[in-house]
Amino acid sequence: MDKEPTETSPVEAATEFSTSIFEIAERSQRLVTDWLMRHAKEIAAPDIDPLHIGEAFLDMTQHMMANPVKMMESGLTLWQAYMELWQSTALRMMGADADPVAEPQPGDRRFRDEAWSDNQVFDYIKQSYLLTAKWLESTVHNVEGLDEHTQKKVDFYTKQFVDALSPTNFLLTNPEALRATVETKGESLIHGLNNLLDDLERGDGKLAIRMTDMDAFEIGKNVATTKGKVVFRNYLMELIQFDPLTDTVLKRPLLIVPPWINKYYILDLRAENSFIRWATEQGHTVFIISWVNPDQKLARETFEDYMLDGPLTALDAIAQATGERSVNMVGYCLGGTLTATTLAWLAAQDDPKWQDRVNSVTFFTTMVDFTDPGDLAVFVDEEQLEEMESKMNERGYLDGSEMATTFNMLRANDLVWSFVVNNYLLGKDPFPFDLLFWNSDSTRMPAAMHSFYLRKMYLENKLAEPGGIELAGTPIDLRKIDIPVYIISTREDHIAPWKTTYLATQIYKGPVHFVLSASGHIAGIINPPASNKYCYWLNPETPKDADAWLADAQQCPGSWWPEWDAWVKDRSDNEMIPARVPGDGKLKALEDAPGTYVKVLLNGKGKKPKAAAKPKATPKPKATSKPKAGPKATAKAKPKPRAKTAGPK
């Protein structure tokens, strides 16, 4: 017979609590001591303002003080708002109905606990915060005389400051956290402190907030599971061909070029929302580039190298694997920027080998004209680039965690503070979520390539300028791209603002079809028809102004995927052939998908790719040299260090 559980006595509970606190204190001291010893050199000469935020706010303050009348008016506005709030709160305390003075924005999930509305004290705290936040953001935004970049930086970091000071982020002003503390007799705080220490240890003294249970997922087991084979590999990428899911397939293959900031499997998270699987079900022979996770040995790899040994080499490999020299292409985000550059390079070639290699192209949330790159512009100016380049040149790359932090700051309430509350204040473990696992599985950026990308695209906007950049001896002019173009952007994109991506409609020479999806950079793209979520807008015309396009656009329910599939097929000859099996062509299968490169994690776990571990065999060619020929590595060949002869012919 099972024994009845014994109730812990107050003395035992107090002893247990004290022991936990002592262990946490001891662990914290050890962590701080270890960190100080490892980072003593950095502490001796700290870079107190690497993002040059202080300069921006000093400039803002000087301009603000130059107009004291406006400052007085701003202060009176806040005072009046507080008077209304006090009156509203007093009425509620006396039992009368009163409309709120300030309410959260639609979609703001911070104040969803009922106590924020039902309890007058917490309702007052909430409204007081919202009033002050709105006033502060409005005040700094309306300072006259600031240049555009400084204004954007002040607005952005004011928003970061305001988000950080939300009452939801503090124990004593968060009713849900207080309730959990009482209900668990303090155990939630103990567990939260342990979560905090775990994150500090994992980040080597820097806070690396855990967004999901990283042990709940394994690449190739429950994410990136669509069956296929790696049919080609060089030092920079693996080319994966996926197994057919239909008896016949379109004769022309599909090549997808994903960004190298994250892994390709955002397009293959689960069978239910995998774009790769869905495309194969529509009869496409799908190939995708899986980029290597570079280390310091690939520090000298350039944007040109990514073009030559990425999509251009993939075109030759696909021709060997299928016998087809022409493909339909898809480029996602940064992969789309590379794809556009590649197409412009192809359009400028006189060699018949490179003509008619791409039949149509689709761009997922892709910027090519960086006139207004949104909040990311805050991180790109000459001073910050010099700081970043100095760090990258020391170690040979930009660490993926730094890039991830930048992107998380763009949606701080969702991607930072919600986890602070869940993990530390509530003491909960993060929920297993495949999308957040992928989001945490970022990759490094080679120093030379990333510096070129940030300078030439974000800072100087040279890609949009005809001949503004030159790659492999060829001036790049996007206006020479004369094939059919499909552009899908998302209305709430915080990484590639849709009105900026729309600028490309005025650049390409060929026919352009622009589609706008609801939701954001990821959810708006990864939106399978079966989910029946969101909507999209269509307009066959492409006027110069993005707002004019949207004003005349037709809203359509559900996913844009079927519309894209029909568009691609309408621009192909639609000839069907027996389904292709990876490895049956001239390129033999090297290993099962998802391959080796995608499994290399930032924490060092996973298989080490030999091809990426070797330095380049020869110096880079001069700018006037032409790329050399065809994929040198065959299906059976071992990965070799890159010489220029490994590039396309």
Q: Which residues are catalytic?
A: 333
Q: Read off the tokens for 281.
A: 């079900």
CA proximity to 357, closest of 309, 303, 317: 317
CB-CB contact of 139 with 153 (8 Å): no
CA proximity to 235, closest of 604, 632, 610, 620: 610
CB-CB contact of 312 with 648 (8 Å): yes
Distance CA 455, CA 188 (A): 47
CA proximity to 468, closest of 479, 456, 458: 456
Distance CA 580, CA 575 (A): 14
Q: Checking DSSP bridges between strand 397-398 and strand 474-475, what pairing results, if any?
A: unpaired
CB-CB contact of 275 with 267 (8 Å): yes
CB atoms within 10 A of CB 122: 20
CB-CB contact of 53 with 153 (8 Å): yes
CB-CB contact of 146 with 153 (8 Å): no
User: How is the chain split among helix, strand and coil, in percent rounded to 5?
Assistant: 50, 10, 40
Distance CA 295, CA 613 (A): 8
Distance CA 578, CA 570 (A): 20
Q: Read off the tokens for 4.
A: 């009845």
CB-CB contact of 208 with 405 (8 Å): no
CB-CB contact of 337 with 366 (8 Å): yes
Q: What are phi and psi of 489, to 5 degrees?
A: -125, 170
Burial (CB count within 10 angstroms: exposed 0-12, middle 13-18, buried 19+), residue 606: middle
Residue whose token pair is 């002592």: 22
Residues 6+ away with beta carbon under 8 Å from 69: none
Q: Checking DSSP bridges between strand 254-257 and strand 327-332, what pairing results, if any?
A: parallel
- Tell me the one-letter amino acid at 353: K
CB atoms within 10 A of CB 208: 18
Burial (CB count within 10 angstroms: exposed 0-12, middle 13-18, buried 19+), residue 529: middle
Distances in Å between the Cα of 476 and the Cα atoms of 356, 471, 626 are 18, 7, 14
Distances in Å between the Cα of 444 and the Cα atoms of 11, 99, 449, 511, 596 are 52, 51, 11, 36, 16
CB atoms within 10 A of CB 54: 10
Q: Read off the tokens for 35.
A: 């960190």
- Give, as one character, the DSSP assignment of residue 417: I
Distances in Å between the Cα of 411 and the Cα atoms of 442, 451, 501, 570 are 17, 24, 20, 38
Q: What are phi and psi of 555, to 5 degrees?
A: -80, 130
Q: Read off the tokens for 579.
A: 């389904």
